[in-house]
Amino acid sequence: MKKPGNLLFLLFLIIGTIIILGENKPTYRTQQGKIFGTLYTVTYEHNADLQPQILAAMQAVDNSLSPFNKHSIITHVNNNDSIEVDTLFTEVFHTAQQIYRESHGAFDPTVAPLVNAWGFGFKKGIDVKSGTIDSLRTLVGFERIRLNGNHIEKDDDRILLDFSAIAKGYGSDRVARLLDSCGIKNYMVEIGGEVVVKGHNKNGNPWGIGITKPADDSLSVNQELQTVLRLTDCAIATSGNYRNFYYKDGVKYAHTIDPRTGYPVQHSLLSATVIADNCMRADALATAFMVLGVDSAMAYCERHPEIDGYFIVAADSGRYETRLSFDEDKYK
User: For position 268, what pLDDT does the model report?
Assistant: 87
User: For position 12, what pLDDT does the model report?
Assistant: 53
Report which of 203, 239, 237, 242 is spatially closest to residue 224, judged by C-alpha positions.
Answer: 242
Q: What percent of the chain has pLDDT over 70?
A: 82
User: For position 162, what pLDDT does the model report?
Assistant: 93
What's the pLDDT tens digit per position in 185-200? 999 999 999 999 999 9
pLDDT of residue 248 exceeding 50, the answer is no
Pairwise CA distance, residues 185 & 183, whole Å = 6
pTM: predicted TM-score of the whole model, two decimal places: 0.86
Q: Residues 284-296: what's their mean pLDDT?
A: 97
pLDDT of residue 181 exceeding 70, the answer is yes
Pairwise CA distance, residues 193 & 211, whole Å = 9
Q: Residues 104-110: what's their mean pLDDT?
A: 97
**pLDDT band per the 50, 70, 90 thresholds, residue 245:** very low
Pairwise CA distance, residues 33 & 52, whole Å = 12
What's the pLDDT tens digit per position in 150-167? 999 999 999 999 999 999
What fold, for 28-324?
T-fold (3.10.520)
User: For position 216, what pLDDT does the model report?
Assistant: 56
Q: What is the DSSP string of 177-227?
A: HHHHHTT--SEEEEETTEEEEES--TTSSPEEEEEE-----TT-----EEE
User: For position 218, what pLDDT does the model report?
Assistant: 47
User: For position 116, what pLDDT does the model report?
Assistant: 80
User: For position 246, what pLDDT does the model report?
Assistant: 41
Report which of 290, 298, 296, 247 is spatially closest to residue 267, judged by C-alpha positions.
Answer: 290
Average pLDDT along the chain: 87
